[in-house]
Homo-oligomer: A and B are copies of this chain.
Amino acid sequence: MENKNVAVLGSTGSIGVNTLAVIGENADKFRVTALSAYENVDLLEKQAREFRPQVVAIYQEELAPELKRRLRDTEMEVASGIEGICRASTLPLTDTVVMAISGSEGLLPALSAIRAGKDLALATKEVMVMAGDLITREAEKKGRIIPIDSEHSAIFQSMAGAGKEDVKRIILTASGGPFYDSDEAQLENASLQEALNHPNWEMGRKITIDCATLMNKGLEVIAARWLFDVEAEKIKVLIHPQSIVHSMVEFVDGSIIAQLSIPDMRLPISYALNYPRRLPNGLPELDLAEVGTLTFQEPDVERFPCLKYGYDALNQGGTMTTVLNAANESAVEAFIEQKISFKNIPQVIREVMDKHQVKEMESLEQVLQVDRWAREEAHRVIETCR
């Protein structure tokens, strides 16, 4: 096999760092063509010096001069702003774009990559929540989307070799997060620090809070709808606190195929980069006898309404999932800044959704406009929470 040329967008975040770890261990198989970060110039410079990409992009334009200065002894091209990120995502040389930009900022570069015919190794499920309809319509023309999110990767792996018409149902597993066994009063007083204390996974702050509210699973339901072309009623969620079974596919004959592994993002990353082959790695093996017990239960959507809102948005369709995503990002940001309480998060989202007049999803411009509207509405609601 020839080297695969990989652009890593969001390279200084949790997924980005893990992606470069996988690539670093398989230097004979991959070549990094582009790196991008939001603002972490120190780490971006370090990564650029190690992986020698053609383009290094920084989102925050005001940091571009500093990055240029630091890399002036190299031949790398320094790009900046959203145009710079899109430049990094569309380099002719690139085969696969790893989209690891957190949240909705990934939409434009993801769409650009797909339009440029790249394979998209997608960690940013928000992209599919904002504009899954648009993205999949584009991906049908060229390019290919391989999910990196552990749940969607598990579904992708479980479907290998199967026909879509044989699929009866997708079963997404959820750890339940740090509060799954908490009562209403405990949820009411949940602190930021408690919410950031995920039982099984080490991840960025946004996704960790989403796990605590179960909105992460709501977003995954929506992303699964687009990634695997299945209707909402065929997507089920089960609470599985051990995070060993990463998701499952149930077939029309009643047989279920499941993917299991230790919870480590390097596994789905490595799978997405190497698909359809698998690469050995130095990670610990999953010892099921040591794990001993795997448990499953129905999710409690009364205590964790965000999951229900995910289904609601999907069922209303059109621009409603864009609104859900924007309102959630705003609410989580406000919670991280300790402007609102944990219980306020679903309230903010619900209020913004209730104000929105759903429209069919037509264009990127419309999606971005709805996204802006929802964020403004969310900020208005957040002000009333204080």
Contact = CB atoms under 8 A, between A and B. Distances in A.
Interface of A: 157-158, 160-163, 166, 168, 171, 238, 245, 248, 250-262, 267, 270-271, 276-281, 283-286, 288-289, 291-298
Identical copies of this chain, number: 2
A288 B296 contact: yes
A238 B161 contact: no
Contacts of A296: 288-289, 291-294
A279 B261 contact: no
Contacts of A276: 161, 163
Given A238-B289, A295-B293, A296-B291, A255 B267 contact: yes
Contacts of A252: 278-280
Contacts of A258: 245, 257-260
Contact of A256 (B238, B250, B259): B259
A297 B286 contact: no
Given A255-B267, A256-B286, A289-B298, A277 B238 contact: no
A278 to B, nearest CB: 4
Contacts of A270: 253
17 contacts: A250-B285, A250-B286, A252-B278, A253-B267, A253-B270, A254-B267, A254-B284, A255-B260, A255-B271, A256-B259, A256-B261, A256-B286, A288-B296, A289-B296, A293-B295, A293-B296, A294-B296
Contact of A281 (B253, B260, B261, B291): B253
B255 A259 contact: yes
A280 B252 CA distance: 5
A278 B262 contact: no
Contacts of A251: 278
A133 B279 CA distance: 30
Contacts of A262: 254
Contact of A260 (B157, B161, B248, B291): B248
Given A245-B258, A254-B284, A292-B296, 8 more contacts: A238-B289, A250-B286, A252-B280, A254-B261, A254-B262, A255-B260, A258-B258, A292-B297
Nearest to A159: B161
A279 B253 contact: yes
Contact of A166 (B238, B277, B298): B277
Nearest to A248: B260
A161 B166 CA distance: 15
Contacts of A255: 157, 259-261, 267, 271, 278
A259 B256 CA distance: 6
A292 B292 contact: no
Nearest to A169: B285
Nearest to A299: B289
Nearest to A283: B254
Contacts of A288: 171, 238, 256, 296
A229 to B, nearest CB: 18
A262 to B, nearest CB: 7
* Residue among A281, A288, A291, A295 with most chain B CB within 10 A: A288
Contact of A257 (B158, B238, B280, B281): B158
A158 to B, nearest CB: 7
Nearest to A280: B252
Contact of A163 (B253, B277, B293): B277
A356 B257 CA distance: 42
A276 B255 CA distance: 13
Contacts of A284: 254
Nearest to A291: B296
A279 B168 CA distance: 11
A280 B251 CA distance: 8
